[in-house]
A and B are shown apart, each in its own frame.
Chain A
Amino acid sequence: MSNLSTGLMLMAVGMVTVFVILLIVIFFGKFLIASVNKLSGKDNASSQNSVQAPAPVAQPAPAEPVPAPAAAEAGNSIYDLITPIGGRFSLSPDSEGRKPSLPFRFKKGDALCKITTADGESTLCASEDGTILAVLVENGSKVETNDVLMNIGR
């Protein structure tokens, strides 16, 4: 019996400790995010280039490669391919790492690109037929979650 009560005590203490620690990590994390944001806000004003590496990669790109005729040719709607994970971006193996000549037509299920993370590779496959209108990220560069990788025409 005393063993069981030891067990119950351990369970209570253990679960409470785990939750308390995680709560502290969460709130402390929020505090960290807020304070780092404040600091980087100042940084932003003084030195533009040191903060947010992915933004400059993604932003200037749409200006040049999206050819208007291609968009018209492909149909009406254009959407962005967004990466669900962060990692190293590389174009799909079938295009042998070269940039596909744009606009590049693909079929449902074709591999569009790969994201290599520390744990392995994830291949992003097309969920419907379409056309790659522009690749916004350099082959081999690092991408963060929710970065826009490509413009796709339906």
Chain B
Amino acid sequence: MLELKNISYVVEEKNSKIEILKDVNLSIGDGFVAITGPNGGGKSTLAKIVAGIIKPTSGQIILDGEDITDLSITERAKKGISFAFQQPVKFKGITVKDLLTLAAGKETSINEACNILSEVGLCAKDYINREVNASLSGGELKRIEIAMILARSTKISIFDEPEAGIDLWSFNSLIKVFENMHEKVKGSIIIISHQERILNTADQIILLGKGYVDKVGTKEEIFPDLMKDAVNVACDKLVGGNK
């Protein structure tokens, strides 16, 4: 169980304070949890705060009853938090197998690595010794990013827009990855997404507005509002365009 208590994050820019997150309170149990909402609403910031990459201005992060607010990225990773970046990182000279081994925290056999890679739709023999550098496409890097989280199989897994850039790989496969993962590990799978099909699979949807939790509920409860918002945004644009 992951709990966020009164999380705020304020950045200072040109002598003015911008509130990225305002008093966010959430409790996330086992299962699929989707976080959605407008761009710039603070979704990625929230994920980075959970992973320890960003320190909140105030508030507490509690993992299974333990306050982890002051723990480092490494310590949180060791306690079972995994985070798939929206923009995967490239490395010169480090191979796919190296990263999977580091993610698993133990020597990964070719077989194990192959299984993980085929789950994310990559043919293992073509990729296992490839360097994770600029020679890989955005979609390939994204799948490797997801594969690392699979290799870790921890109790909290956060994916920041996992669907971005993986056009050729069907959504069904991606969703299947999450389902398999949940079956194996249980735990919480937190997915930041704009995709209706991903939101559809979520047990719980968190709608993050401009830095605050707008609504939390099942898809039946959230979807009508989402649609209304989408229409409003579109209308605003149209009206704006006519001015």
Specify whether A and B are partners: no
Q: Interface residues, chain B, CB within 8 Å of chain A?
A: none
